[in-house]
Structures are given as structure tokens and as C-alpha cells.
A and B are shown apart, each in its own frame.
Chain A
């Protein structure tokens, strides 16, 4: 009886949730707050806006701009292509073993980011890459002479798509699965063509999920560093490379400016998410 009492008195709920809360505070909230406070602190420890003002130098502004363009372009293309492939696999009546193979591959490819991915594309589209050589020797197309460069905006975007597309496919597949067959059948019995079904029912239902994934892809592209660092070194002035070099201690010579740079990144990804939340709230009126 007494043991039963003791057991009942143990606050299981609090004990179980405590590690999670502690973890959230120590590794998510405090570090973020630390960055924010450092961004507004000068070397002497007093409040300043100089660090924020320092962001508006041409070098840093252009770094943000290139990052936003790469992230935006790769996110939009990744979303469109990923959606097309997912629809082809799930709704296009392709053999079902293909689907599970593709989804496993997506899991692998979406985690195949960073340095190995950079090397994979150097081996493919670099000056000595297989695709480059085959295009030149077999088809007579010299992509480098016609202006292509792997270590550029488009090179980076094409490389990012390697993890953006699978990320889209993994995220959107459950939503596509959630499209009930009966909706399509109901639309057909009411005279709708396939296109009309997608126009009025299918795509509007998928829309919030697509938007959510778009903002996720944007954040993943914007925050990606290893791929860009290994691929372009300091050829392409993107903001993550700038911050990476800063953390390693050889860039801005100003810790406060580094924190401001990081804060700026949080602001950009947050804005992307807020845009998503606002648009999704409008698109999701029909949801519970």
C-alpha cells in the first residue's frame, strides 16, 4: 500500500517532459537569445545598433541577396519538380514497387547534402566531370565555353535541387496520399475532366501543404553551408559561407557583426515562415 502511494506520488508527467523542456531551453532558446543579445551589444557590453547598421555594407547585402536568390530559386524549382514527380509516382499509375524504391531514394538523397554532394556534382558537371566530358566529346557541346560554371549561382542551384526535390517529395507524399479517390470520382460523376478536378479540388487541397514545404525548402536552402562551402569556396559570396568563415575566426574581425549576421538569417527564415503561415491560414479556411 505504501509502495503504491509512493509510486503514485512520483510526478511522472513532469519528469517525462522535463528533459525535453530542458533541452529546448539549453539548445534552442538560450543560444538564439544569446545571438540576439550579442547582435545588439558592443565590445564593451553596452547596447548598440552599430552591428545591425554594419549589415548594410555592400558585401554583406549582396551576400544576403545571393543567398535569398539561390534559396528561393532552388525552393521554387524543387517544389514544382518534386510535386510533379510525386504526382507521377502516386497518381500516375506507375508500378507500386517503383514508389517504395523512389521514396527510399528520396530519403537518402535528401540527406545526401553537404560535402559529398558537392563532390558528386564536381565529378558530374565540373570541368573534368563525366557529364561535361560526354557532352563535349559525344554531342559537341562545351557547356563551359557557353558560359556555364558549376561554381556559380546556377551551378549551386542545380546542386541544391539534389536535396530540395527529395525533401519536397517526402513532405508532400502524405498530402497527395490524403487526396481521397472518392473526391476524384465524385468530380468525375459530376462531369469534371481530370484537369478540372485538379483545378478546382486537387490543387486547392494540396496548396497549404505545398506552401508549407516551399517555406521549409527555402529555409533549408538558405541555411545550407557545407555544399556551398565545398563547391564554391569563397567564389560565391553567400551569407552562410560568410558566417562560417566568421565563426572560424577569419572574416569580419568583429564578433558583434557576426551575431548580427546570424540574427539576420533568423529574420529571413522567420519572414519566409510568417508569409507561409499567413497565406496558409487563408488557404486552410476549410480545415478544422
Chain B
């Protein structure tokens, strides 16, 4: 099997490669959004606690 034959997928290239590409995209987007959700929440809490510490000290 040559590499071109592999890419051609017996004439089903459009269907096979779009399915695989979509799957890889969905998996990667899941990982990125989940990780970003954690880091954004940590950042928000860091700011919140820092704010409270500042206003607490000035009172």
C-alpha cells in the first residue's frame, strides 16, 4: 500500500478523514476548555481573596 492509497481510503477519503478530523477536534477542544475552566476559576479566586485581604487591611 502506497501512502497515496492510504490517503485515498479506497475512494472514501472525504468521509473517513472528515470523521477522524472531527473526532480529533472534539477531543482536543474538550481537553482545552476543561483545563481553561480550572485555570480561570483559580485566577478568579486568587483575585477575590487578594481583594478581600486588601479591603480587610484598610478597614
Do A and B form a real pair?
no
Enumerate chain A interface residues (CB-CB to B < 8 A). none
Could you list which residues of chain B lie within 8 angstroms of chain A, going by C-beta atoms? none
